[in-house]
Amino acid sequence: MAVFTPLSDAQVAEFLERFNVGNLRSLKGVPHGTENSTFFVTTERGEWVLTLFEQGEFEDLPFFVDLLDYLDAHDLPVPGPIHDRQGVALQRLAGRPALLFPRMPGAHPSAPNLAQCAALGDALGRMHLVSQRFQGSRANPRDLDWLNRRHLEVLAFLDDADRALMQAEIADYTLAFEGISLPRGAIHGDLFRDNTLYEGDRLGGIIDFYNGCTGELLFDLAIVINDWASDEDGKLNAERYSAILGAYVKHRPLDAYERRLWSTMLRMTALRYWLSRLLVIHVDPPAHDITPHDPARFRLLLGRRLNAEIPPLPA
Ligand SMILES: Nc1ncnc2c1ncn2[C@@H]1O[C@H](COP(=O)(O)OP(=O)(O)OP(=O)(O)O)[C@@H](O)[C@H]1O
Ligand SMILES: N[C@@H](CCO)C(=O)O
């Protein structure tokens, strides 16, 4: 259930008057999502998504608006926030920060085919090409510093083998990344399958940029590979791996440091989700009654990335 703040038709009809999007025809709460209240809004001019922000860093919202405006202006398939008649995107409604977006077409791909993987790699490559010139800045909230700090809070909940693994891995990443500067830019930060929408093989939209930040582009790519190209047993699926990366490098070839650190980055981003999911369960339970994601999935992926050879990167 993802309507934490209910809205009436009258409230939304009045809200829409601030914009040039037409008059309310229907309003429907979206039953997915875990963090924000989301509504599908229909007017005679089209379909829109209204998001009320319930938690998180409200001071980061202008960064997300600027990033989405920028990517939208560069023809990436993202929902560019609708600006009101005065040119302002970030609003307040029912005491919450609010944004209105165009509704992107399509559905989440649970088992993406190779054409869908290639479409994702293509869009991410195009995004990273332009995002290196994005002027905004927001530190990556889940970077290596965060891993180093926050893993200490979950060690007590792990068995001896997992505790030793987590500590050894983080020490290894710290050494591997020391003094190395990888290409940086704005990144999505959480580009899982359920943050994309497809109509057939066409990528209709990349959504949920609320983990967006500026950081290492390779971090984004590794998150994508771990989610999109892992089979049920956690092993890398060579075909999906090649489809995504092959399409990506056509826009942004990887440099020598990125190639050298690729397998480490795959492990680090697997551990990033293992840790964030453990923190949700043991340390920071969500304010709302939602089913937490399973940390074991990313413990499995980490083990696979450690113990199996990573397929070569495309040239
Ligand atoms: N612009 C959009 N176009 C179409 N559907 C959208 C759009 N924005 C959000 N949605 C739908 O609403 C759902 C919830 O939105 P969103 O992911 O922003 O919320 P959340 O609470 O942050 O959820 P999550 O748990 O996925 O992080 C999405 O899974 C998607 O189905
Ligand atoms: N994609 C995240 C949840 C949202 O940040 C996860 O799977 O743990």
Does pLDDT of 99 surpass 90?
A: yes
Sheet holding 37-43, edge to edge: 24-29, 37-43, 46-52, 96-102, 91-93
**Three-state SS at 102:** strand
**CA 62 to mean position of chain CA atoms:** 17
**Measured distance CA(97)–CA(57) in Å, rounded:** 11
Percent share of the chain, pLDDT over 90: 92
Comparison of pLDDT for 274 and 3, the residue scoring more: 274
Specify the residue with its C-alpha closest to ligand 2, atom 7: 293
User: Are 9-99 and 114-307 equal in CATH topology?
Assistant: no
Helix H or strand E encompassing 108: none
Gap between the Cα atoms of 225 and 192, Å rounded: 9
Count Cβ atoms below 10 Å from residue 315 Cβ, excluding itself: 7
Question: Could you state, in order of their start, the residue ranges of all structural domains in the chain?
Answer: 9-99, 114-307
Residue 170 tokens read as 């983080």
C-alpha of residue 309 to centroid of ligand 1, in Å: 35
Q: Measured between alpha carbons, how far is 251 from 121 in angstroms, rounded to an integer? A: 9
Residue whose Cα lies nearest atom 5 of ligand 2: it is 190
Q: List residues near ligand 2 (CB under 6 A).
A: 190, 192, 211, 273, 276-277, 293
What pLDDT band is residue 273 in, cutting at 50, 70 and 90? very high
Please report, for residues 221, 236, 237, the alpha-carbon distance to residue 231 in angstroms, rounded to integers and kept in the order given: 17, 6, 6
Q: What's the confidence (pLDDT) of residue 2?
A: 75
Which of 5-19, 23-37, 256-270 is the least confident region? 23-37
- Specify the pLDDT at position 55: 80
Q: Quick one: which ligand is closest to 224's CA?
A: 2
State the Cα–Cα distance between residues 188 and 195, nearest whole angstrom: 10
Q: Whose CA is nearest to atom 2 of ligand 2?
A: 190
- pLDDT tops 70 at residue 1: no
Tokens of 221: 């790519």
Q: How far apart are CA 203 and CA 112, in angstroms?
A: 11
**Average pLDDT, whole number, for the chain?**
96
Give the CATH H-level superfamily of domain 114-307: Aminoglycoside phosphotransferase (APH), C-terminal lobe (3.90.1200.10)
CA distance 38 to 40: 7
Q: What is the ipTM of this complex?
A: 0.94
In degrees to the nearest 10, what's the CA dihedral of 276, 277, 283, 284? 80
181: CA distance to ligand 2 center in Å? 26
| Smallest-distance ligand from the CA of 190 | 2
* CATH architecture of the domain with range 9-99: 2-Layer Sandwich (3.30)
> What is the position in ligand 1's atom list of the atom closest to the CA of 102?
1
Encoding tokens for residue 39?
A: 């509504």
Question: How confident is the model over 63-86, as a mean pLDDT?
Answer: 98
DSSP, residue by residue, 279-297 = HHHHT---SS--PPPPHHH
Structure letter (DSSP) for residue 230? B
Q: Which residues contact 102 (CB under 8 A, 6 or more apart)?
A: 46, 47, 48, 49, 79, 80, 82
**Integer Cα distance of 286 and 24 in angstroms:** 33
**Residues facing residue 169 across a β-bridge:** none
Please name the residue that has the structure tokens 């914009």: 19
Q: How far is CA 42 from CA 49, 93, 102, in A?
A: 9, 18, 10
- For 142-161, the pLDDT digits (tens) are 999 999 999 999 999 999 99
pLDDT at residue 285, rounded to an integer? 87
For the whole model, what pTM was predicted?
Answer: 0.96
Length of the chain in residues, anyone?
Answer: 315
For residue range 214-257, list pLDDT tens digits in order.
999 999 999 999 999 999 999 999 999 999 999 999 999 999 99
Q: Estimate to the nearest angstrom the gap between the alpha carbon of 121 and the chain centroid.
A: 14
Q: Around Cβ 264, how many Cβ atoms within 10 Å? A: 18
Classify burial at 293, counting beta carbons within 10 Å of its beta carbon; exposed 0-12, middle 13-18, buried 19 or more: middle
